[in-house]
Structure 1
């Protein structure tokens, strides 16, 4: 299913996006050396419910997971890149943490992910990976406009990641979003320009480039959810929900402090 929203409905999408972005910003602010992943999950629950939101993850039970997920935020550390199931792990200085969050408010969902380094250490390769995913995300957003093809967006993302020296996994990528978290169209992180679905005003997309240090292959933890690098190398993941408008792509998942 592909949903198209009217201009009158977009304020609801913007509100959902701000909740997601504000929760992620606050989780990042609170997270320090010594924080556990379960503490982050508890904070996420508190903040989502306090904002009047509904978690898209607690009851999430797709075919690829061992569901339901049962938590409020994905917490992926170091070599874990996607669907990290919160546990009692204690964060150390220099850990590379990805937080991925999706929330439904007033009937519309928004989805975003951030990667950042915990503490004071700044491992060079980790910094480079975060920057690479953020740049690829910006490239994909710049390519998303009415009349463009989905392949244009995927090509922009993949070209940016490849230019930075990373291999691109095509098993998991971005997606349409709206009244539910995951919808058509699928947005691969690499593609051919001029191919695929033609973007229309009112379409909402979650774009999410992610990379692993020296591989494109994943392995699954015994928890049935957490996806890791097959080589144990570090990973990073950046994601925004955008709306296709007459002027191009509007980023919905910016914190309140970054809105006019």
Structure 2
């Protein structure tokens, strides 16, 4: 583009006052052989505002779950809360019918790593830990986040894995910086998990998000510092490591072809943030 052309992002600013410096930086890193995002992965100002509206609803849905979740309820009741709050506010639960997924939310208990399917026969009991993973479409824009919930008094080992998972996510967030790399986030997370005797699931990770449910890049949490895609202002993705007590290996339920379990029946925990890379840092959009 020419310096005085209107910027490609639709901001209304001249290119030289908007994305020219960012594009030049991307080119310099690409010439060094680094992995850089394509322009389609950089959200425009208009898109960012619309995605933030979706993110606000996603947070409200998780808040509603937090207010109502309790021992003795079924995971199907969690699904109804998510569906009702989302649809009453003009949204669509992103998981519903996504690649055949039958429910509006993922509810993963204890040794379930992810993609647990809500069921009226699965009743929350004292001592359970559960990940509730909410994803929302609002006016065509996507958002995503998950939280861990403790049912009553839980074991010391359950308390510990949730605490370390929280620390992993915060350390990953702290390592995320514009013009750094996705591997910086992964290294911070994997180092802390291993130092505490845990493993990080390798084959399932985070993802770009905003215009689609799952976009590039795939976000690994086991790669070295300085590796993987360059973090460029306008990128949007999830930080959502899955931390296991024992082996990082898993198997998928043969009956429903969705729920992912730890291979050794150990506990697993996951917390998910959705973040935006900005010129001056990282903004958390959902948590």
Same fold by TM-score greater than 0.5: yes
Whether 1:47 and 2:80 are equivalent positions in the alignment is no
Whether 1:112 and 2:112 are equivalent positions in the alignment is no
Whether 1:139 and 2:171 are equivalent positions in the alignment is yes
- Select the residue among 14, 23, 27 that pairs with 2:61: 23
Return the alpha-carbon distance in structure 2 between the equivalents of residues 167 and 198 of structure 1.
25
**Helix, strand or coil at the partner of 1:49:** helix
Return the alpha-carbon distance in structure 2 between the equivalents of residues 42 and 123 of structure 1.
28
> 1:6 is matched with which residue?
44
- Select the residue among 164, 168, 183 that pairs with 2:196: 164
Following superposition, the deviation at residue 49 of structure 1 comes to: 0.4
> 1:33 is matched with which residue?
71
Unaligned runs of 5+ in 1: 62-67, 255-260
**Helix, strand or coil at the partner of 2:171:** helix
Whether 1:234 and 2:271 are equivalent positions in the alignment is no
> 1:101 is matched with which residue?
134
Contact persistence 2:129–2:154 (CA under 8 A): no
Following superposition, the deviation at residue 239 of structure 1 comes to: 0.3
Return the alpha-carbon distance in structure 1 between the equivalents of residues 68 and 207 of structure 2.
29
Following superposition, the deviation at residue 80 of structure 1 comes to: 0.8
- TM-score (norm. length: structure 1): 0.91
Q: Could you report, residue by residue, the CA deviation over 1:159-216 in whole angstroms, capped at 9, with x for unpaired residues? A: 1211221112211011111211111111111111111211111110111011121221
Unaligned runs of 5+ in 2: 1-37
> Which protein has the bigger helix share?
2
Q: Moved runs in structure 1, 4+ residues, more than 3 A?
A: none
Instruction: For CA contacts below 8 A with separation 6 or more, give which structure has more relative contact order.
Output: 1
Paired positions, count: 247
Contact persistence 1:116–1:130 (CA under 8 A): no
The residue correspondences of 1:61-76 to structure 2 (distance < 5 A) are 61=99, 68-76=100-108
Contact persistence 1:156–1:190 (CA under 8 A): no
- Select the residue among 222, 241, 244 that pairs with 1:190: 222
Following superposition, the deviation at residue 84 of structure 1 comes to: 0.4
Query: Relative to structure 2, which stretch is displaced further, 6-15 or 100-109?
Result: 6-15
